[in-house]
Structure 1
Amino acid sequence: MNSWIDKLINSALKGRYLTLVATVLVIIAGVVAVKMLPLEAYPELTNPQVRVITLYPGKGPEEIERIVTVPLEKELNGIPGQTSLRSLSLYGLSVVTTTFVESTPTALARQQVLERLEQADIPDDAHPHLEPDVGSLREIFRYCLHSPYYSAMGLRSIQQWEMEKLFRQIPGVIGVISEGGPTKAYEVDVNQYQLKSYGITLQQVFDSLSKANATSGGGFIEKSGTALIVRELGLLKGVSDIESVVVSADKKGTPIRIRDIAKVKIGSLVRRGQVGKGHEDDVVEGIILLRRGENPSQVLERVYERLPEIIKRLPPGVTMEVLYDRMDLINQTIKTIRTNIQFGIGLVVILLCLFLLDIPAAIITAIPIPLAMLIAFICLNLFGVPANLLSLGAIDFGILVDSSVVMVENIVRRLSEEGRDLSVNHRLMLLNESAREVGAPILFGIAVIVATFLPIFTFQGVEGKL
């Protein structure tokens, strides 16, 4: 054992210039790796999950549990790779969450859940859908819209029909949630006495409105060797169009329109929440969701690139205010890591100076700290592991300099005792001898430290990710 350790030390001293060149190359590669290293505040800790959401308005929790949640649970049980199945039944809402093992691709898990949903025995008017493929790091950007000219309902329409579409086009964004502001709707207030007098049922009113608000094709007409497409444009554009919809006809053939049996007005859907900010009781907010597996910093950079173009698409008088930006948390995390590293290295150097009573020796002893971190950055890049507070914030600087302290202290002791009047070559020989004295103990000490950390690599689940 000692023979090859001695050979390694001799080679390092004889080829000391080559060692310096290799160190410089490691520094350059480490600096490049730092710039290329993806950053995030915290890693994704949860296993792949697929959440099935079913809206069934008007039903109580007991009914939702019996006719929606239980049939869904029955079909979703036993999916390959499934680890748990949980559900929540509320008024008009059913949420079923199934969790898979860590190695399961989310696309495969979602496909398997969709296949099971088709077999579920639930009411026809209950339509379950999957939550977007998000993880625990779902929200990365929040904003709200302001305008002195548009109402909250108008801002909500801009958010739903313009902003959602533009932000969802950005790679890495899985969805946009719109909150606040009433959702615009057209209300048809039917007069029951008019219905009875005309002999019209409520179902006829529903059918007439749905058929009128549709575009249908009528084939084509051939003329001069060309085909002219025939289309019926029936999309309703406002209150007047709705009032003009024909429901039926009386005995004389006079059409009975919506205006004859009902009043049409602009209203809003039933609200399930409201957003307030400062002195404003009702503001419109947008929440950008991160696709699972994407890096937050890279997706936010794409958002920043598209943001000026998106803001230009806003109507005159409408402004956007940023409420939350995940990059602020990432920058704060980087600042915390940088502070910890600087403080740790500085504290180690100061203590070494106090105990070794030799500033150059203390600086030499502390050199392995940045070198080890640069090598760690290179390895993180090679294995595709992003830098975060957990991977970099708990570095033990004492372990990094343990071997250096033993090696430098022994060399300084031997040189101070025996090398004062020696020539350069003899001092190198003494340095070689001093290094070989502690080479084997240092190697075994490092092996013991590595052995103590090996069980960490056997951890599974959340513990393994930490």
Structure 2
Amino acid sequence: MIEKIISLSLRNRFLVLLVAAGLLAWGVQAVRVNKIDAIPDVSENQVIVFTEWMGRSPQIIEDQVTYPLVTNLQGLPQIKYVRGTSMFGMSFVYVIFQDDTDIYWARERVLERLNYAARLLPEGATPTLGPDGTGVGHILWYTFTAPGMDLGEQRALQDWYVKFGLQTVPGVSEIASFGGFQKQYQVSLIPTKLAYYNLSVQDVIQAVRANNNETGGRKFEMSDIGYIIKTSGYLQSIEEIENIPVKTVNTVPVSIRDVATVQTSGETRLGIFDLNGEGEAVGGIVVMRYGENADEVIGRVKQKMEEVSKGFPEGVKFNVVYDRSQLIEESVSSVKKTLMEEMIVVSLVVLIFLFHWRSAASILIQIPVTLAASFILLNAFDITSNIMSLTGVALAIGVIVDNGIIMAENAYKHLSHRFEELNPEEV
């Protein structure tokens, strides 16, 4: 079979050169569209189910949330195993699928099963799917340089302005906020006054909920003008919360201020984010989607950050604390430099030792054609250009050249023997 291929190639040199040129052109195009990253993604093909039920101990979370979810998610198709983790107020369930399973198909199957499993959970515990990102999806971290703004204002800027702007970037799965304080109204009950007015905690909760909504009315027309009636009851200040009636005692309403104190404060935190030992900071983490080109996504995010920063208060700006594009550029540049050095050295060695330009040319042509064709396979198997894959390509140059030299030497040997057989008197 190999002899037939060699014979066919020798008789059709133009066809062989045409195929090589086609592979080279295809490979160059594959290099242009190949995804670039610094490190290979070897994380598992997983879907994360997150459930928050604040105020409960890890044991309660394990018994009433994590265990029902794990047992109901185990029967999914193409699944490898399910892992669950419980902590104070939170439950994490990791559903690991087979490596060849499409991640979005897997998320659909998990979501279908959650529609049933959610009925087994206690009231207030709602499972949600985590972002469609990988373990190496954190491609950019940023904080704010905001002199004169407190941590609560910075967190509000992040949650209600920056986050929504950056989430629209193609390839971004999530913008995870960190640091600062999330503003909230806190109602601190006084137990003695609750007992005096014969009230329970649930009575106060129901009163606040009932007075924090909007009620729709009806539409009526008068003098050819239509009017829409509605009752707007959303709470917007401490005074409005304090004036909410909870109970009536002898025609006298008992309001929230009679049994509790109301204040604005930050949500209880389990940790802080400190930047370089200079104090607390507020910012976000850009999480990339599965299968995206990290270098291109980072470029789009930076461009969007320039647009978003135009709406900042005076003196506020972004401070990028982690940018994987720098590592990507340095890694790819280093490997490219190594490839060029290898190709130059190999070319010189081949030319000097063979000392025959046609043989040297046939070997040197193999290097760019083979390297370009390797990127076709990288794209076919959805492998990014990273430190590992490009290093493998660099190491393969030696094998390519060795193979070419051996084949050229073998051809010379057989041709010399053939020449001796045909012209013994000249030998």
Q: TM-score normalized by structure 2?
A: 0.85
TM alignment of 1:57-456, pairs within 5 A: 57-120=54-117, 121-252=120-251, 254-353=252-351, 355-356=353-354, 362=360, 365-378=363-376, 380=378, 385-395=383-393, 396-409=396-409
Q: 1:192: Cα distance to partner?
A: 3.3
In the alignment, the residues of structure 2 paired with residue 29 and residue 73 of structure 1 have an alpha-carbon distance, to the nearest angstrom, of 47
Q: Compared with structure 1, are the counterparts of its residues 257 and 302 closer, same or farther at alpha carbon in structure 2 (3 Å cutoff)?
A: same
Q: Distance in 2 between matches of 1:386 and 1:83?
A: 25
Deviation at 1:283, TM superposition (A): 0.6
Kept in 1: contact 2:51–2:127 (CA 8 A) = yes
Cα–Cα, structure 1 residues 383 and 276, in superposed 2: closer, same or farther, change >3 Å?
closer
CA contact (8 A) 2:171 2:288 kept: yes
Gap change, CA 1:376 and 1:354, over 3 Å in 2: same
Does the CA contact (< 8 Å) of 1:82 and 1:101 recur in 2? yes
Q: 1:116 to 1:35 in 2, by over 3 A?
A: closer
Structure with the largest fraction of strand: 2
Equivalence for 1:8: 9
In the superposition, relative to structure 1, how do residues 348 and 283 fare at CA in structure 2: closer, same or farther (>3 Å)?
Answer: same
CA distance in 1, matches of 2:199, 2:61: 33
CA distance in 2, matches of 1:3, 1:64: 69
User: How many residues of Structure 1 are paired with residues of Structure 2 in the alignment?
Assistant: 415
Work out the CA distance in 2 between the residues paired with 1:3 and 1:117: 60
- Percent of aligned pairs with the same amino acid: 31
Q: 1:405 to 1:64 in 2, by over 3 A?
A: same
Matched, 1:51 2:52: no
Structure 1 segments unaligned to the other structure (5+ residues): 418-429, 434-466
Q: CA deviation at 1:276?
A: 0.6
- More moved, 85-94 vs 281-290: 85-94
Q: How far apart are residue 99 of structure 1 and its match?
A: 0.9
SS at match of 2:126: coil
Aligned mates of 1:336, 1:151 — CA distance in 2: 43
Query: Residues of 1 paired with 2:25 and 2:105: CA distance?
Result: 41
TM-score by length of 1: 0.79
- Given that 1:179 and 1:273 are in contact with CA atoms closer than 8 Å, whether structure 2 keeps it comes out as no
Q: Secondary structure of the residue that 1:145 maps to in structure 2?
A: strand
Report the alpha carbon displacement of residue 180 of structure 1 after superposing the two structures with TM: 1.0
Change (3 A) 1:200 1:222: farther
Amino acid at match of 1:49: Q
Counterpart CA distance in 1 for 2:286 and 2:303 is 15
TM-superposed CA distance for 1:331, in Å, is 1.2
Kept in 2: contact 1:54–1:93 (CA 8 A): yes
Change (3 A) 1:72 1:27: closer
Aligned-pair distance for 1:350?
4.2
* Mapped contact 2:9–2:16 kept (Cα < 8 A): no
- Give CA-to-partner distance per residue, 1:22-46, whole Å, 9 cap, x none: 7666555544443333322334333
Structure 1 window deviating more from structure 2 (211-220 vs 283-292): it is 211-220
List gaps (5 residues or longer) in structure 2.
Answer: 423-427
Question: Is the 1:214–1:235 Cα contact (8 Å) retained in structure 2?
Answer: yes
The separation in 2 between residues aligned to 1:67 and 1:36, in whole angstroms, is 48
Distance 1:28 1:250, change over 3 A: same
User: Is the Cα contact below 8 Å between 2:245 and 2:254 reproduced in 1?
Assistant: yes
> Match of 2:127, as an amino acid?
P
3-state SS in 2 of match to 1:393: helix
Q: What is the root-mean-square deviation of aligned Cα atoms in Å? A: 3.1
Q: Could you tell me whether the CA contact under 8 Å between 2:35 and 2:292 is conserved in 1?
A: no
Inter-partner Cα distance in structure 1 for 2:8 and 2:200? 99
Q: Flag the 1:400–1:183 CA change in 2: closer, same or farther, 3 A.
A: same
* Contact 2:43–2:136 (CA under 8 A) maintained in structure 1: no
Kindly provide the amino acid, as one letter, of the partner of residue 206 in structure 2: D
Task: Measure, in 1, the Cα distance between the counterparts of 2:42 and 2:232.
Answer: 52
Kept after mapping to 2: 8 A contact 1:170/1:303: yes
Deviations 1:341-370 (A, max 9, x none): 123223323443553356886565333212
